[in-house]
Each structure stands twice: as structure tokens, then as C-alpha cells.
Amino acid sequence: MRIGSILENQSVEKRIAVTPEIIKKYTSLGFEIILNENYGVHLGIKDQQYIDLGAKISKDEVEVLGSSDIIVQLGMISDDKSSYIKESQTLIGVLNPYENSEKLKNLAKKKINLFSLELLPRITRAQSMDILSSQANLAGYKAVIESFANFEKAIPMMMTAAGTVPAAKVLVVGAGVAGLQAIATAKRMGAIVFATDVRMASKEQVESLGGKFLFVEGSENLETQGGYAKEASDDFKKKQEELLSETLKKIDIVICTALIPGKKAPLIIKENMVNNMQAGSVIYDLAAIQGGNTAFTEVDKVVVNNGVRIMGESNILNKLPMSASNLYAKNLFNFVDNLFDKENKKINVNLEDEIIKKTLII
């Protein structure tokens, strides 16, 4: 059987789905690998590295897509290229069924197996395949680095003969994987860190990393059975707003990470809250692509409002493409390994397997 992958649209996605270190793992299962020419050149990976490991390099994307049993990608393949995918092939990636429903319906008509990895269940067995966790970890780290680089004061407390420089105060909104990594990174760099989340289970995790957890007294636990955040009630939102309004007046840097799967990101930091922040403060909004957690957030722009810099990027992982690709490629391999019937050398769409059932788009 053959696994193939083509380059993503480089203007929006620099990550790749197959890295050299993962080739041997695929070949050990009996797969052939085919990639299009210059697949990893933008990351410093020459075609010859893939060839030396046993992969085939093709100049023709049509050949790659048409001859592969399994196609692995980051995002959805464009309409003009998806026409080359044939019946009974398998496409695996972050297919975003909420936005690409029509495209996916058309592919499903061709009896193509479609697996979207952001739909993986949060169970122990799926942890090695969990692309949301591996990628969010890096995003949380990088958001702190980027925001600190744009903050025009020192981060840690510094005691000098000329006086003391106070430590920067950081607020992390949303204590999921990205938020927890942001807390850990900010703390390591000497900041005083606060965090807030609608899931009360986050309190212990935040405090274990040295952060102070801010929560609405007597609030409900807004966590789904799958471990994700769910929509808050109007009463909770009002109380949370009051808590944040007071907190933000003394905060230097805010990292926003709050997302609800398949929905617009909740607007948490309102206009009046931003207006009451200290001039020179920085907000980094990781939820920008889904509407943003902050008023004034614009995708791929730095907006300055009342002296506060609000930063939002469509894909922060393009700033860490090699690390992100390495983790994503391993997640993908583990998913394929689970999907592959090694005895009969074929794909086994076993709907009794929760991992396969939840990620399969019908």
C-alpha cells in the first residue's frame, strides 16, 4: 500500500505531514511513501533525504494523489486537486467539517474514507494521536514568546542599585493545553501568572504550574464529558466579566486561548475592559481565526487601541513549522498504525473502535 502527501498552500500553511524521521516507521509497516517534488525544501529538508530513506519523489501532484491508498495532509485539499482523489482512497488530516461540509460531501459521494483528526476523542488510547494537544502545546509556548517580544519592559523582577524592576503580570484566558503551556512558559521566564477557565478542573492544574487561578465564586462547572469547554450561562458571563474587568487593570500581558469546538470563539475581553488596561500592555489572541476572545482582534494584524497592542494570527505554528511538523507527523503515523490491519495489509474501518468512529466523516 502507498501513502502520499502533497505540499499545502504555502501562503497559509508551512507545516508538512511526513517528516524524514517518520519514513522508516511507515516502511516497517509495509507502506511505500510518495511525495511531491520540493516537499520539505522550505524547512531545509532536501528531496534526497527522503529518497535515501526509501521514499519516492514525484514532480506530478496528480500522480501523488491518484496513486496513493492513503493521503495525509494538514488541511483540506483544494477543489481543483481533490478531483484527482479516487474512489476507495483514504484522506486523513484536519479537514474542518464545520467549514468544509460541502467539499466533504462531494468527496464522500466518491466513497472516499475521510478522517478528521481534530475530532479525536479525549481518551487515553488516543493521546499519541492527539493533534490538538501536540499543536496547542507549541502554540501556547510561542504566544508567550511573541507577546513578550512585543512588551517593552523586562519580564522578571530585577533588583539593581538604581532600583527594582517589578515582574510583569500575565493573565492566561483558557487553561486548556495551550493555556497551561503558556502559564508554564511565562512562569519560567519570571512573570507573575494568573489564569481563568470555565472548567473548575483547571484550578489544580494551573496552581501546580505556579499560577493563581481566578474563578467566579459558586460558578457551575462548564466542562463537557469529552473534556472540552462548553457555552456559559448569561449569569456566569456577567460575573466573569466583573472579575476580569478588575483584574485586567493591573495586568501587563494577556494570552487568550479560549475556544469552543465548531463554534465562534467566545468574546471574553470587551471593549471597555481593553480601554481600562494600562497603556503598553499586550494581548495575544490565539483564538483570532475563530473570531477572537478580544474586542478589536483582527487576523494577522497588530491593532493598537488606547495604547494596548492586540495581536492575532491565523496560524502561529507557521513560526515553529519544523517542531510542529515533527509532532504532527508522529500523531498521523500513530493514527494510521491504529487504522491499518497489519495481518491483511489493508485499511480496517472498524466502527467499534471509538477513535475511528469519532474521526470518520460520513
| Choice among 47, 83, 122, 323 that is catalytic | 122
| Crossing angle between the packed helical segments 131-149 and 321-339, to the nearest 10 degrees | 170
Residue 228 appears among annotated catalytic residues: yes
Q: How many whole angstroms separate alpha carbon 38 and alpha carbon 178?
A: 31
235 is catalytic: no
Q: Is 80 a catalytic residue?
A: no
Helices 177-188 and 131-149: crossing angle in degrees, nearest 10, is: 40
Annotated catalytic residue: which of 116, 130, 134, 290?
130
**C-alpha distance from residue 143 to each of 172, 175, 327 (Å):** 11, 14, 18
| Grid coordinates belonging to 332 | 498521523
Starting at the edge strand found earlier in the chain, the sheet holding 212-214 runs: 212-214, 192-196, 169-173, 253-256, 282-285, 308-312, 301-305
Q: How far apart are CA 192 and CA 183, in angstroms?
A: 9
CB of 36 within 8 A of CB of 60? yes
39 is catalytic: no
Residue of 147, 141, 143, 144 whose CA lies nearest to 308: 147
122 is catalytic: yes
In the block, residue with C-alpha cell 481543483: 80
Candidates 89, 116, 133, 325; catalytic one: 133
Instruction: Let me know how long the chain is.
Output: 362
SS3 199: coil
For β-strands 70-72 and 2-5, DSSP reports them as: parallel
Nearest Cα neighbor of 337 from 117, 106, 129, 122 is 129
* Catalytic residue, candidates 88, 101, 127, 208: 127
Q: Spot the catalytic one: 228, 278, 323, 353.
A: 228
Phi/psi of residue 251, nearest 5 degrees = -95, 140
Backbone angles phi, psi at 90, to 5 degrees: -125, 130
H helices of the chain, in order, are 20-28, 47-52, 61-67, 79-82, 101-108, 131-149, 177-188, 202-208, 234-248, 271-275, 321-339, 354-359
Active site residues: 122, 127, 130, 133, 228
